[in-house]
Chain A
Amino acid sequence: MHYHSEELIRDISAQAQAFRIQVLKMIYSAQTGHLGGAFSAAEIVASLYFHHLRLDPTRPDWPGRDRLLFSKGHACAMLYTAMAHRGFFPVDELTTFRQLDSRLQGHPDRVKLPGIEICAGPLGHGVAIGVGMALAQKMAGRKPSSFSAPSARATAARVYVVLGDGEINAGVIWEGAMAAAKYRLGNLTAILDYNGVQQTGATADVMPTEPIADRWRAFGWHVQEIHGHNVAEILEALDRADEVHAQPSVVIARTTKGKGVSFMEYDHRWHGMPPTREQYEQALAELEEGLGK
């Protein structure tokens, strides 16, 4: 086990819940956007941006930065929220989400918004692009970092890919998965937001993904399964993934789509639907109540 203080875990958990509130406000205000998959990814994104990733918001193109490839781009309201609070751009700018002249495009645009690593939205790209980035690190002779050799962190950048579970229907995910194993990319970690629901229904009905852990293992990946809303488990899994050498890692984070709002949870209709005023007020009340816990 790696040590993460209770205070750290509590802070990140609270931050994740606060981000849900921010995301709800953005999508309600814009009357467009994707709530369900943003809510399921809250703790994952918060853990990455506020503890695990090595980055410098004032230098988004710093070559030594860890790369976060947010492959499930439709959930970008959560990504933007975390980035703004991490200092990549003013928090006020979040109100421009999905509006004309905004850098916060409907799906992430790496050209418009520094700090975004890949354009995403069309699903399936994160793993293979991550392979290219991880290969570039290897070609430069940089060794993957590890907890046991913290000094290596001075030079090695790592690549993290946040995937949706509907997204892994796409064949190119598995093409990339094979390539990552072939090239023994220990510097590549995927975090699968395994919320069990995609646009038109349950993943188990639309395109079954089980046995999910065995599938990744069969493709040559190191696999961990965790509770994806438990920050302690997320932080531990990310540290462990960093210690895996010579093979890529996947963290299967079991989550709940629409997490935190009773009438959104597990309901595929909240994949891409904005709330009415009444729904917004109820959702806000529930999320704020969750914040106090």
Chain B
Amino acid sequence: MTELASMRKAYGQALVELGKVNPDVVVLSADVSNSDHSYMFEEAFPDRFVNVGIAEQCLVDVAVGLAYSGKIPFANTFAFLFATRALEMVRTHLCYGKANVKLMGAYAGISDSFDGPTHHAITDVAIMRSLPNMTIVIPGDPVALEKLLPQVADWPGPVFFRLNRNEVPVLFDDSYAPRIGEAITLRPGNDVTLIGTGLMVGRCLEAAEALSGEGIDARVLEVHTIKPLDVDSVLGAARETGALVTAEEHSVIGGLGGAVAEAVSDACPVPIKRVGIADEFAETGPYFEILDRYGMSVEHILVAARQAVAARQGR
């Protein structure tokens, strides 16, 4: 059994560490700091923490004012709220006005499972990805989070950092060295590439292991930066393996699958199967069970991989 570790705790700790080394970092919350664990920063740096109350549009605009004054604001609320309620602020000031605000999208995907579809974020990546100048980063585990957060602070311009609420499998050790904008090949393979992001990276690795028993040699490519997409790595996978599967905790519309399909259809069309939630809302329930029921199980990746390989061979 893979070790599980809390993404929220890792986030709170990483934020405090960042605060220690970068005095320009300030943290804002729309009154959910005990949910996302940004309260840990508040305890460490009370003078650099702003709680605007349950007011997500105000949250983003106040962060914009701080950013235009030279601070590096980390704004915290649930991922779906940034992508929906506060979206105009994000578009006008972060993307058009180039405010250097970092959006910490908590409880992303299905991870706030028991709070139900009102709290799930399954369209946030598609929405954010459509905005010019936006960068989208999704850490796959607590190690990735810890390594990527300081890079988010240093990255020039707005970032949507998509965070899982729960204890998740630990995939990486200290040798993991992600760079924003660069996909990582976690497992070599020649028959098909499983392109995963976030929690689904672990499921891609499991699927690759199972596929090897079937004689399918699957590559696993981790795309932690959805935008700007590492097009070279994706096209390399398309050329070298001839078939792609994308796997994400998100709608099959417009997220990682959409980004990969756009890149590949332009330059190197190959069969692509997209694993994610269909164009529907999920329901309340245990996290991993919802993922399995709504199209994001290891089995779903296996089926998609077999279909992609068959489609390639059938051409």
Q: Does A30 have its Cβ within 8 Å of any Cβ on chain B?
A: no
Task: Using A117-B68, A122-B88 as known contacts, say yes or no to A178 and B57 having CB atoms under 8 A apart.
Answer: no
Task: Using A132-B61, A139-B26, A176-B61 as known contacts, say yes or no to A118 and B68 having CB atoms under 8 A apart.
Answer: yes
Grouping DSSP codes into helix (H, G, I), strand (E, B) and loop, the A interface class, with mixed when no group exceeds half, is helix
Q: Does B81 have its Cβ within 8 Å of any Cβ on chain A?
A: no
Q: Does B211 have its Cβ within 8 Å of any Cβ on chain A?
A: no
**Across-interface contacts of A137 in B (CB, < 8 A):** 69
**Across-interface contacts of B68 in A (CB, < 8 A):** 110, 117-118, 129, 132-133
Within 8 A of A (CB), among B168-224: none
**B62 partner, pick from A109, A118, A128, beta carbons under 8 A:** A128
Question: Does A119 contact B97, Cβ atoms closer than 8 Å?
Answer: yes
0/1 string, B84-111, CB within 8 A of A gives 1: 0000110011001110000000000000
CA A24 to CA B52, docked complex, whole Å: 41
**A172 partner, pick from B47, B58, B69, B97, beta carbons under 8 A:** B58
0/1 string, A118-132, CB within 8 A of B gives 1: 110110110011111
Chain A's closest residue to B58 (CB) is A175
**Across-interface contacts of B73 in A (CB, < 8 A):** 132
Within 8 A of B (CB), among A149-175: 171-172, 175
Q: Does A207 have its Cβ within 8 Å of any Cβ on chain B?
A: no
Q: Does A45 have its Cβ within 8 Å of any Cβ on chain B?
A: no
Question: Does B70 contact A132, Cβ atoms closer than 8 Å?
Answer: no
**B61 partner, pick from A63, A117, A129, A183, beta carbons under 8 A:** A129
Question: Does B65 contact A132, Cβ atoms closer than 8 Å?
Answer: yes
Question: Does A63 contact B70, Cβ atoms closer than 8 Å?
Answer: yes
CA A289 to CA B7, docked complex, whole Å: 69
Chain B's closest residue to A128 (CB) is B61
**B66 partner, pick from A121, A133, A176, A178, beta carbons under 8 A:** A133
**A139 partner, pick from B71, B92, B93, B98, beta carbons under 8 A:** B71
Chain B's closest residue to A63 (CB) is B70
**Across-interface contacts of A172 in B (CB, < 8 A):** 55, 57-58, 61, 89
**Across-interface contacts of B69 in A (CB, < 8 A):** 132-133, 136-137
CB distance from B95 to the nearest CB of A (A): 10
Question: Does B65 contact A136, Cβ atoms closer than 8 Å?
Answer: yes
Question: Does B97 contact A133, Cβ atoms closer than 8 Å?
Answer: no
CA A136 to CA B70, docked complex, whole Å: 8
**Across-interface contacts of A182 in B (CB, < 8 A):** 53
Q: Does A111 have its Cβ within 8 Å of any Cβ on chain B?
A: yes
Q: Does A9 have its Cβ within 8 Å of any Cβ on chain B?
A: no
**Across-interface contacts of B259 in A (CB, < 8 A):** none
| Residue from the set B50, B52, B61 with the largest chain A CB neighbour count within 10 Å | B61
Q: Does B9 have its Cβ within 8 Å of any Cβ on chain A?
A: no
Chain B's closest residue to A138 (CB) is B47
Interface size class for chain B? Answer: 20 to 34
0/1 string, B119-134, CB within 8 A of A gives 1: 0000000000000000
Q: Does B64 have its Cβ within 8 Å of any Cβ on chain A?
A: yes
Q: Does B63 have its Cβ within 8 Å of any Cβ on chain A?
A: yes
Q: Does A134 have its Cβ within 8 Å of any Cβ on chain B?
A: yes
Question: Does A132 contact B48, Cβ atoms closer than 8 Å?
Answer: no
Chain B's closest residue to A183 (CB) is B50
Task: Using A118-B97, A139-B26, A175-B57 as known contacts, say yes or no to A129 and B64 having CB atoms under 8 A apart.
Answer: yes
Interface size class for chain A? Answer: 20 to 34
Q: Does A135 have its Cβ within 8 Å of any Cβ on chain B?
A: yes
CA A256 to CA B93, docked complex, whole Å: 30
Question: Does A125 contact B53, Cβ atoms closer than 8 Å?
Answer: no
**Across-interface contacts of A136 in B (CB, < 8 A):** 65-66, 69-71
CB distance from A64 to the nearest CB of B (A): 12
Question: Does B65 contact A133, Cβ atoms closer than 8 Å?
Answer: yes
CA A110 to CA B47, docked complex, whole Å: 29
Question: Does A134 contact B52, Cβ atoms closer than 8 Å?
Answer: no
CA A63 to CA B70, docked complex, whole Å: 9
Task: Using A129-B68, A129-B93 as known contacts, say yes or no to A171 and B48 having CB atoms under 8 A apart.
Answer: no
Q: Does A18 have its Cβ within 8 Å of any Cβ on chain B?
A: no
Q: Does B67 have its Cβ within 8 Å of any Cβ on chain A?
A: yes
Q: Does A179 have its Cβ within 8 Å of any Cβ on chain B?
A: yes
Contacts beyond the supplied A128-B64, A175-B52: 19 A-B pairs with Cβ under 8 Å:
A109-B96, A111-B96, A111-B97, A118-B64, A118-B93, A118-B97, A119-B96, A125-B93, A128-B65, A129-B93, A131-B61, A131-B65, A132-B63, A139-B48, A171-B57, A172-B55, A172-B58, A179-B62, A182-B53
Seen from chain A, the residues whose Cβ lies within 8 Å of a Cβ on chain B are 63, 109-111, 117-119, 121-122, 124-125, 128-137, 139, 171-172, 175-176, 178-179, 182-183
Q: Which 10 residue pairs of A and B lie closest in terms of their CB atoms, listed nearest first? A: A132-B65, A136-B69, A128-B61, A175-B58, A175-B55, A133-B65, A132-B62, A129-B65, A119-B97, A172-B57
Seen from chain B, the residues whose Cβ lies within 8 Å of a Cβ on chain A are 26, 47-48, 50, 52-53, 55, 57-58, 61-71, 73, 88-89, 92-93, 96-98
20 A-B pairs whose Cβ atoms sit less than 8 Å apart in the complex: A111-B97, A111-B98, A118-B97, A119-B92, A121-B92, A125-B89, A125-B92, A128-B62, A131-B58, A131-B65, A133-B68, A136-B65, A136-B66, A136-B69, A136-B71, A139-B26, A172-B61, A176-B58, A179-B58, A179-B62
